[in-house]
Amino acid sequence: MAGNYLDRFIQLVQVLYDQTDSEHMLTRSEIMDRLNRNGTDMNRQTFAAYIRKLKESGVDIMEEKSDHFRYGIGFRIFDFAEIKLITDAILSSSAIDEEKSQHLIQKLHRLLSRFQAQELKCEQLPQIKKKQVNQYFYQNVDMINTGIINNCKIAFRYFTYRVNEQGNLCKISRKEGKVYKVSPYSFCWHQDNYYVLVSDDHHDSLAAYRIDRMDCVRVLEEPRKSLRDCKLENLEDLSVYLNGLFSMHSGNQGQRMKVELEFNESVLNVVVDKFGEFGIYRKNQDWILAHFDVVISPTFYSWLFQLKDQIRIISPKSAVRGFQDYLQEVLNFYQQE
């Protein structure tokens, strides 16, 4: 039985998007044959009217004349290279488990023709790392997002790993199961982990919590603190703050301050990768100076340590002394018998 106007139109769109692209085009007869297999009748005049309507609606319908007119979808919402980039990012992320990764990738494939999807599948990266994700990870994301949208605080427990007396790895709640009550502001990725940026009622500064380490997340009816209470006016200021917070992130510890670094040009790319392109200027032929906002923490000092004599802290002196103390502690540990 022939479908009605809307049914026929939808069937035509599905055939074009699923079975054509710039390299795989179909003639009108081939398209109508595929429609007929699904019980959809369409005459030449109706076909031409639908193609015209799609073009008027902004759909990139390609037409190529050889022995017959051939039709295919040209521009798509995402092109092949963009879908491949997103697919590889999903596969590489340890924050997305294998089942969810494949589910997301299958959805992305629907934005391509079947030929492009098959090509993408053949080029798909092998699993880079084993993914171990909290089973409530996606529920946590949804709850946190609800809190952000509705300007509400959230509550949760935060866990960490320990090795028990039997020598087995286990999860335990931090601070003896304390319930954290915070104001959420934004999500962010850092070093392949997914964080939420928050503040509590006892501090003006921001803290970052890994979402996969959160349990029992729920939205509270209490209104969240304003960013202004954290001395930030808007999300743009928050973005600047994050550059310092995550440049040398170490949990919720450490003081954020501006440091002056002197380093050899041989490690310039390493420094740019870590801190970005701003605040860097040349001192002389071989050495460069830079000013960055960082969190002074063991993580920052360990990063400096790996660059050995190619970098050093110039100021503030408190950061210099802190690094000296850090090095002395390491040396003392290794000198123990």
Question: For residues 310 and 287, what is the distance between their CA atoms, to the nearest angstrom?
Answer: 9
For residue 79, give the nearest of 121, 108, 118, 122 by alpha carbon.
108
Higher-confidence position of 277 and 76: 76
Could you tell me the pLDDT band of residue 90, with boundaries at 50, 70 and 90?
confident
The whole-number pLDDT of residue 94 equals: 77
Tens-digit pLDDT profile for residues 109-132: 999 999 999 988 887 766 555 556
The whole-number pLDDT of residue 16 equals: 95
Q: What is the mean pLDDT of the chain?
A: 85
Q: How would DSSP label each residue in 163-189?
A: E-TTS-EEEEEGGGGPPEEEEEEEEEE
Question: For residues 144 and 211, what is the distance between their CA atoms, to the nearest angstrom?
Answer: 9
Could you tell me the pLDDT band of residue 315, with boundaries at 50, 70 and 90?
very high
Q: Which residue is associated with the tokens 């605080």?
A: 153
The whole-number pLDDT of residue 337 equals: 64
The whole-number pLDDT of residue 96 equals: 81
The whole-number pLDDT of residue 263 equals: 92
pLDDT for residue 240 is more than 80: no
CB 257 within 8 A of CB 293: yes
Task: Tokens for 35, please give them.
Answer: 């429609």
Question: For residues 258 and 256, what is the distance between their CA atoms, to the nearest angstrom?
Answer: 7
Of 19-33, 151-165, 210-224, 229-243, least confident by mean pLDDT is: 229-243
For residue 293, give the nearest of 276, 310, 281 by alpha carbon.
276
pLDDT for residue 250 is more than 50: no
Question: For residues 262 and 325, what is the distance between their CA atoms, to the nearest angstrom?
Answer: 19
**Amino acid, single-letter form, for residue 136:** Y
Q: What mean pLDDT is predicted for residues 196-210?
A: 85
The whole-number pLDDT of residue 150 equals: 95
Q: What mean pLDDT is predicted for residues 17-41?
A: 91
